[in-house]
Amino acid sequence: MSALLKISGLRAAYGQIEALKGVDLTVGAGEIVALIGANGAGKSTLLMTICGRPRAAAGTIVFDGRDITNLQTFAIVRFGISQAPEGRRIFPRMTVLENLQIGATTAAPERFDRDRARVFELFPILGERRHQRGGTLSGGEQQMLAIGRALMSQPRLLLLDEPSLGLAPLVAKQIFGVIRAINAEEKITVLLVEQNAHHALRMAHRAYVLQTGSIVLSGTGAELLANEEVRAAYIEGGARGAA
Amino acid sequence: MGYFLQQLVNGLTLGAIYALIAIGYTMVYGIVGMINFAHGEIFMIGAFISLIFFVVLGVLGVTWLPLALLLVLLLAMALTAVYGWAVERIAYRPLRGSFRLAPLISAIGMSIFLQNYVLLVQGAHEKTLPPMITGGFELMQSGGFMVSVSWLQLIIVGVTLLLMVVFTAVIQLTPLGRAQRATEQDMTMAALLGIDVDRTISLTFVIGAALAAVAGLMVTLQYGVIDFFIGFLAGVKAFTAAVLGGIGSLPGAVLGGLLIGLIEALWSGYCPSEYKDVAVYAVLILVLMFRPTGLLGRPEVEKV
Ligand SMILES: Nc1ncnc2c1ncn2[C@@H]1O[C@H](COP(=O)(O)OP(=O)(O)OP(=O)(O)O)[C@@H](O)[C@H]1O
Ligand SMILES: [Mg+2]
């Protein structure tokens, strides 16, 4: 499988705080890759650094054969990477529809109607709420909108940061179903950050474990799911706080 | 009664000019959350550019008034916009992401710089322009007093309302307006979705400056006297208008501008006019006591 995203020796810092200390990670075209790790491990930082915020201090990020390490954030979307970031970051004073329109900023205008219809098909509740302001949506609806908005740019790689955070099990299940569906049906590659390691590892083709800024383990989803340390730290022990 | 109406007309005219400047304050505040203290000076520069082009067109023999007006309007808007763009590029953009007061201090510096720049190249003397648009009509006769409205006053109020409608529509309905609102609500997220945030902010300054240029042209036409210092007081008044109307709100800026113009004119009509500014600020304080976000400002009620 050819690498769609290839990250090598990536470092990133916030001032003096080093958040990524030389990360190597590959995402193959068509894969779902999960990234798990404790709070503060640097998962969100990794996704944001792919998009240029913060900028990489060292290392390279190659997407589809092109070095995007030093591109401006807004330009990176044009290459086909979009993100539903940590905290969802819905535009609160814009309607659902306007949020989707912003998501489609870099997309071909004539595709808008079709893409919007697709998002409403994946998340019917968004269709019903299309004229409601983003800030008044429920947490689950906001998460759906964040994913739907990211899909509007017709990405080849979708970065998802804890899409199930704070959602009722049923809604989380629906979100995971959608992630599987867009991966299988639309061939969108997914890099998924999840606290819900059990779910994430079950649906991921491959996975990485990030610990204080470094990758400490990687393998297929099934391998990591069977790994004693992973089970202890992120699945059974997860509720008691990860190591 | 007639006298009152006349003051009303005069107040609306003055208020419309404040409103045009206030839109620039409010749009910039909306998008980058800073008070662009140099905006009053941008207005002053717009007035000078207008005056200079009237003189130049006169020399070139363009005497047909509608053509001259249109040319001056477009040229002044374009050139002043360049100033607005440059101010953002030089004084604010390098400080983005710095501590909150930094761009504010830089703005004050910019304002002093622009004043002195015009003082240096144009001199301290007042510049005058003879009335170009004359005439008008009599609205009504009331209590032995003739209420008259000049064509120019009509143009000023009409243009202001038109521009307010146009730019409200731009912000609500166009991709540029959406990009502006997205940038205003979450700059990082806007960039993640492919919005060129720097360009969006630049365009906001450009639009604000172009509107200030329209105000500069109006002042030049209406009052016929300008100097390098007019930006200061007009800027303060327009800023007050933006706050009164609810900073960040475009219709609020226009409402605030018109109200301040009215208060000034009515106060000056009946009370000692030296105190008209006191009246303006008293109203501002009263409004802010009961509506801290201004008349049309939005109360924040979303969960984020
Ligand atoms: N804007 C910031 N400024 C300073 N430090 C930051 C910033 N964002 C993150 N950090 C620090 O970088 C480290 C990695 O944070 P990051 O958000 O990437 O972790 P995470 O793995 O996503 O954690 P979580 O599971 O809690 O979301 C943490 O130590 C955090 O305190
Ligand atoms: Mg995180």
Domains of chain A: 1-80+157-168+183-243 (3.40.50.300), 88-154 (no CATH)
Q: Is the CB of A239 under 6 A from ligand 1?
A: no
Q: Of the candidates B54, B36, B42, B33, which has an alpha carbon nearest to the alpha carbon of residue B81?
A: B42
In a domain, B190, yes or no: no
In a domain, B240, yes or no: yes
With cut-offs at 50, 70 and 90, classify the pLDDT of residue B301: very low
Instruction: Give contacts of A 24-53 with B, CB under 8 A.
Output: 51, 53
- The verdict on a CB contact (< 8 Å) between A83 and B192 is yes
Closest-CA residue of chain B to A147: B193
In a domain, B21, yes or no: yes
Among B93-97, B135-139, B213-217, B245-249, the least confident range: B135-139
Assess if residue B273 is contained within a domain. yes
Residue A42 Cβ inside 6 Å of ligand 1? The answer reads yes
A91–chain B Cβ distance below 8 A for any pair: yes
> How far B209 CA lies from chain A's nearest CA (Å)?
26
- Which residues in chain B touch residue A103, judged by CB atoms under 8 angstroms apart? 193
Q: Tens of pLDDT along B110-142?
A: 999 999 999 999 999 999 998 888 888 888 887
Kindly state if the Cβ of A16 falls inside 6 Å of ligand 1. no
Q: Are the C-beta atoms of A217 and A227 separated by less than 8 Å?
A: yes
Asked if the Cβ–Cβ distance from B193 to A103 is below 8 Å, we say: yes
Domain-embedded: residue B189: no
Task: Decide if B187 is inside a domain.
Answer: no
* Domain-located, residue B296: no
A89 touches chain B (CB under 8 A): yes
Give the closest residue (by CA) to ligand 1 atom 18.
A42
What would the two tokens of residue B38 be? 């140099």
Number of domains making up chain B: 1
Structure tokens at A238: 């997860």
Radius of gyration of the CA atoms of chain B, in A: 20
Per-residue pLDDT of chain A (243 residues; tens, 9 = 90+): 579 999 999 999 999 999 999 999 999 999 999 999 999 999 999 999 999 999 999 999 999 999 999 999 999 999 999 999 999 999 999 999 999 999 999 999 999 999 999 999 999 999 999 999 999 999 999 999 999 999 999 999 999 999 999 899 999 999 999 999 999 999 999 999 998 899 899 999 999 999 999 999 999 999 999 988 888 888 875 444 443
In whole angstroms, how far apart are CA A38 and each of A25, A41, A87, A167, A213?
Answer: 18, 5, 17, 19, 10
Partner residue facing B185 (CB), from A73, A75, A92: A92
Residue A45, ligand 1, Cβ within 6 A: yes
Query: Which pTM value belongs to this model?
Result: 0.91
Is B301 inside a domain boundary?
no
The phi, psi pair for A53, rounded to 5°, reads -135, 105
As a whole number of angstroms, the distance between CA A135 and CA A93 comes to: 6
Establish whether this prediction's ipTM goes over 0.90.
yes
Q: Which domain holds residue B61?
A: 2-169+196-290
Question: Which positions ≥6 away from B6 have C-beta within 8 Å?
Answer: B145, B147, B148, B269
User: Cα of A20 to ligand 1 centre, how many Å?
Assistant: 10
Taking residues B241-269, report their average pLDDT.
94
Q: What is the CATH number of the domain that holds B137?
A: 1.10.3470
